[in-house]
Amino acid sequence: MHARPFRLLFLLLLAAGPAPAEETAPPAMAQAGSANATVAGGSPAADPAAPPRVEWLWELNPYYSSLAVEVPLTDAPVPDGGRLPESHVYRQLFLDSLSPRLLMAEVSVYPLPAFGAWYKKHQRESYEDFGLGEAGSTDLNVFDAVTAGFQEPWAFSLFTGSVMQFTRPAEKREGRNRGYMGYLISVGAKHIHNNVLIDDTWWEFEWKLKGERQFREEKLSWSFRLGVKNHGNPDISDVAYIGMRRSNLDYQGSWLSLLNNSNLELLMEADRHNGRFLRQEVIVGRKLPIRRWHLALTLDAGVIYEDPQKYRGILADPTADRLTFVVRPNIQF
Q: Mind listing the pLDDT tens digit for each residue in 50-66?
A: 667 899 988 888 888 99
Residue 297: name the closest of 333, 251, 331, 270 by CA.
Answer: 331
pLDDT above 60 (res 29): no
pTM of the prediction? 0.77
144 pLDDT band, cuts 50/70/90, is: confident
Which DSSP category does 6 fall into? Answer: H
Distance CA 234, CA 231 (A): 7
Name residues whose C-beta falls within 8 Å of residue 330's C-beta, 6 or more positions apart in sequence: 15, 16, 17, 18, 19, 36, 37, 297, 298, 299, 300
246 pLDDT band, cuts 50/70/90, is: very high
Name residues whose C-beta falls within 8 Å of residue 190's C-beta, 6 or more positions apart in sequence: 152, 153, 154, 197, 198, 199, 200
Average pLDDT over residues 266-277: 95
Residue 176: name the closest of 293, 77, 33 by CA.
Answer: 33
What's phi and psi for 141, nearest 5 deg?
A: -140, 130
What are the boundaries of each domain within the chain? 4-332
Distance CA 266, CA 268 (A): 7
Residue 167: name the closest of 83, 266, 258 by CA.
Answer: 83
Residue 108: name the closest of 169, 218, 21 by CA.
Answer: 21
6 pLDDT band, cuts 50/70/90, is: very low
